[in-house]
Amino acid sequence: MSRVRILPDDLVSLISAGEVIENPSSIVKELIENSLDAEAKNIEIEILEGGIKSIKVSDDGIGIHPDDCMICIQRHSTSKITSRSDIDSIHTYGFRGEALASVAAVADISIRSRQTTSSLGIELIANQGETPVRKEISRPEGTTIEMANLFSRIPARRKHLDSPSREAQRIHEIIMKHAIIRNEVGFRFIRDGVVVIDVPLNQSKRDRVLELWGLEIVKSLIEINHTEDSTHIRGFLVQPPLSRGNRQREYLSIRKRPIEERRLSLAVEEAYSTLLMSGRYPIFALDIDVDVELVDANVHPTKREVRIENIDTLIRILHSVVRDALEPSIKSVSQTLDEFVESSISKQRETIMPAEVEGRQSSIIVEEGLLQPKSLMRDEVEGLGGRFRVIGQVSRLYLLIEMEEGLVIIDQHAAHERILYEKLRDKVNSGSVMIQELLEPIVIRLDSVSIEQILEVAEVLKEVGYSVAEFGGNEILISSLPEILQQRANEIDMISLVDRIIELGVVAKDKFMDEIIRVTACHAAIRAGEVLDHRQIQDLIVKLSKTSNQNYCCHGRPSMVRVTRSELDKRFGRDGIEALKRYRARHRIE
C-alpha cells in the first residue's frame, strides 16, 4: 500500500462537489438560494434537457464585485459569514462557500454580473480543466450564472443521472418549493424553450398557490398564521379529501429554508390521520419561524436537514395548530360516523321486520334456524357457490348474507368494485368500451409537468373511455368518461384519477391500463354509506358470484368474510351440544 498523503486541491474539490451536487436540481437549488441571498426580486431559471445539458439562472439582485468573481468559484469562499460567531446565527441560505466551487468542479461555468454601484459588469468563464478567463462587459444589474456539460468529465456520475424529463421534474419541484414560500419574489422557469412557471413578484400567498397548484387546491385551502412565544407558523393546509399518494406536496421550511425533517412532517400527518385513508398523504406548505440561534443549518452539505434545539416543543405546537385548523373537518367526519351507526341500528330493525310480519319473534327464528337450518331458506337464491339469503345491511357498508354453512359478510364497495373491474376489463380487451360524452366537460388546472404526464398517456386513457386534451396553458379538459362511471364521477374524482396517473409515473402500458381500470372501477362502485334494498343486494351478490375472484376486491383487499356455523356455535358455547349430538349419532342413541 502506498503512503498517506494530502490530496491535491482539484481532487479535494471533486470529492466535496459530490456531496453538494447530486443531480441538476441540486445546482438549481444552490443557484436560486444565491439569488435569494442577493435580494433578487425576480429569478429566471432556464434549463435544457433536464439541466443535464445546461442550466441558466438570472437574477436582479445586488450582483458580485468585479474582484470577487474569480474568488467565488474557489472552495470555502463566501461573503456571508466572517467569524466563528456568525455560524450561530445564519440569516442567509448560503454560508459554506461551496456551491459555486462545486459546480465549477463538475461542469463548465460562466458568471456574468453587475453590481448596483458600478457602471460596468464582469464576465468570468471557467471551463473544466482550463484557466478561468475574466473580462469586462456591459449588462443590466444582477447576476447570471450558466452551467453546461454537467459531469462530462465524470462519466460514472453522468451515467447515474435520470432521464431528462425526470431530472426536469425534480427541478420543477425545487422551484415550486421556493416559489411557494417566497411569494414576494417573481419566478420564471423555462424548460426546453417553454415557459412552465411564470409568477410575478409581490403575489399574494393565495394567488401564488393558485398559479402553482391550481384552483382545486385553492378551494380547499386553510390559511395558518399562528404565534406561540417566539414560534410563528405560517402557510396553509389543504383540506381532505384532496390528498396525495406520496409526500411530495408536504412542504416544510424553517425560516423559509425548505427542509426535510421526518419528525415534523409526521406531526402534521398525525394531525390529519383520521381524515385520510391509509396510504394517502396530506398537502401542505408550512413555514416555521423560530429564533435563529435555535437552528443549526450546518449539519448537512446541502443544508436540506437542520438541527433544531427545541424540536419537541415544535412538534407539539405544530401538531396542535394543524389539529385545531382541521377541527371542523374532523367534527363533520365523526358526525357522519354517528349517523352511520344510528342508521345501521334502525336498518337492522328493518331487516328483522319481514320475519316479524310472518308472526314470529326474531329470537325464535334464531333458535329455529339453529335446529333446522333448511327452514330459513325462504328467499334463497343461487350464488356464492351455493344458495344464499339476504339478511340486510349493516352500517350502510356490510351486507349480511346467510348460507347453509353460516354467515357471510360482504363489503358492498369491494364487491361492486370487483364486478365493475372485470366488466370494464373485458370491454377494454374486446375494444367495446361504452363512453358517455359530458355536456359540460371537466376542466382541471395542473402544473405543466403533470399536464405533460397526462397527455403522454392520453391514448391509453382513450381506450378505457376517457377523452383528455390540453386546454390552454395550465389546464386539461376531460370531455368523455367510461359509461360505467355514470353520474358518479365529479371533479374531485377526476382530480384523484389524475393524481393517481401522476403517481404511477412511467410504467409499462399493460400495467398502466390495468391500474386505470382498477381506479375507474373503484370510483364507479357503490360506496360506503349508500343504502341498498334487498333486491339490490341480491343482484349484487349474484353478479359477484359470477366474477373470477369474488373473495377479493380488485386492490387485493378481502371483499367477504365467512363465519361458519361451527365457529358461531363455538363462540356461543354450543360446542357441548354439538359433541353430544355427535356422540348420540355414533352410538345410535335416539
CB of 34 to Mg ion, least distance (A): 4
Is there binding between residue 13 and ligand ADP (CB under 6 A)? no
Q: Shortest approach of Mg ion to residue 96 CB, angstroms?
A: 7
Q: Which residue is nearest to ligand ADP (CB)?
A: 94
In this structure, what DSSP letter does residue 219 have?
H
- Exactly one of 24, 51, 66, 94 binds Mg ion (CB under 5 A); which one? 94
Q: For residue 411, what is the enclosing H or E element?
A: strand 406-411
How far apart are the C-alpha atoms of 19 and 12, rounded to whole Å?
11
Using an 8 Å Cβ cutoff, are 396 and 347 in contact? yes
Lay out the site mask for ligand ADP across 419-458 (x = CB under 6 A, - = otherwise): ----------------------------------------
CB of 27 to ligand ADP, least distance (A): 10
Residue closest to Mg ion when measured from CB atoms: 94
d(CA 139, CA 119): 9
Stretch 156-195 residues interacting with ligand ADP (CB under 6 A) = none
Question: In terms of CB distance, is 103 or 403 closer to ligand ADP?
Answer: 103
**What is the nearest approach in angstroms of ligand ADP to the Cβ of residue 112?**
10
Q: Pick out residues in 466-505 that bind ligand ADP (CB under 6 A).
A: none
Closest approach, Cβ 254 to ligand ADP, in A, equals 17
97 binds ligand ADP (CB under 6 A): yes
Q: Which amino acid is at 386?
A: G
Q: Using CB under 6 A, which of 22, 48, 70, 77 touches ligand ADP?
A: 77
What's the rounded Cα separation, in Å, for the pair 444 and 437? 17
Select from 30, 108, 269, 447 the one that contacts ligand ADP (CB under 6 A). Answer: 30
Look up residue 65 and give its three cell numbers: 464585485
Q: Is 34 in the site for Mg ion (CB under 5 A)?
A: yes
DSSP state of 479: E
Give the β-pairing of 108-114 and 142-148: antiparallel
Q: Please list the alpha-helical segments (H only) found in 149-261.
A: 155-159, 164-181, 205-213, 215-219
Of the two residues 12 and 568, which places its CB atom closer to ligand ADP in the complex?
A: 12
User: Of the listed pieces 94-102, 139-147, 261-269, 360-368, which binds Mg ion according to CB under 5 A?
Assistant: 94-102
Residue 483: exposed, middle, or buried by beta-carbon count in 10 A (0-12, 13-18, 19+)? middle
Q: Give residues 526-585 in contact with ligand ADP (rule: CB under 6 A).
A: none
Q: How far apart are CA 263 and CA 276, in angstroms?
A: 19
CA angle 10, 12, 13 (to 5 degrees): 65
Phi and psi angles of residue 92, each rounded to the nearest 5 degrees, phi first:
-115, 165
Specify the residue, 144 or 496, whose C-beta has the smaller distance to Mg ion: 144
26 binds ligand ADP (CB under 6 A): no
Give the C-alpha separation, 21 to 31, whole Å. 12
Which strands form 257-258's sheet, in the order they lie side by side? 221-228, 231-238, 284-289, 250-254, 257-258
Q: Which of 79, 127, 220, 551 binds ligand ADP (CB under 6 A)?
A: 79
Classified as helix, coil or strand, 58 is: strand
| By CB under 6 A, residue 54 contacts ligand ADP | no
Count of residues near Mg ion by CB under 5 A: 3
Q: Which residues pair with 44 in a beta bridge?
A: 58, 188
CA nearest neighbour of 178 among 264, 251, 73, 87: 251
C-beta of 99 vs 408, nearer to ligand ADP: 99
Please give the residues from 97 up to 136 whose contact with Mg ion meets the rule CB under 5 A.
99
Please state, in angstroms and rounded to a whole number, the distance separating the CA atoms of residues 391 and 347.
Answer: 11
Judged by beta carbon, residue 90 or residue 399, the one nearer ligand ADP is 90
Which of these ranges, 1-9, 62-70, 255-263, 271-279, lies near ligand ADP under the rule CB under 6 A? 62-70
- Give me the least distance between CB of 85 and ligand ADP, in Å please: 17
Q: With binding defined as CB under 6 A, does residue 100 bind ligand ADP?
A: yes
Residue 38 makes contact with ligand ADP by CB under 6 A? yes
Using CA of residue 159, residue 162, residue 167, residue 170, what is the dihedral sign?
A: negative
CA 309, 312, 313: angle at the middle one, nearest 5? 90
Query: Shortest Cβ distance from residue 490 to ligand ADP (Å)?
Result: 46
Looking only at residues 118 through 147 of this chain, which bind ligand ADP when binding is defined by CB under 6 A? 143
CA-based nearest residue to 234, from 216, 243, 248, 222: 222
Would you call 90 helix, strand, or coil by DSSP?
coil
For ligand ADP, give the closer residue by CB, 112 or 418.
112
Under the rule (CB under 6 A), what is the footprint of ligand ADP?
A: 30, 34-35, 38, 59, 61-64, 72, 77-80, 94-101, 143
Under the rule (CB under 5 A), what is the footprint of Mg ion?
A: 34, 94, 99
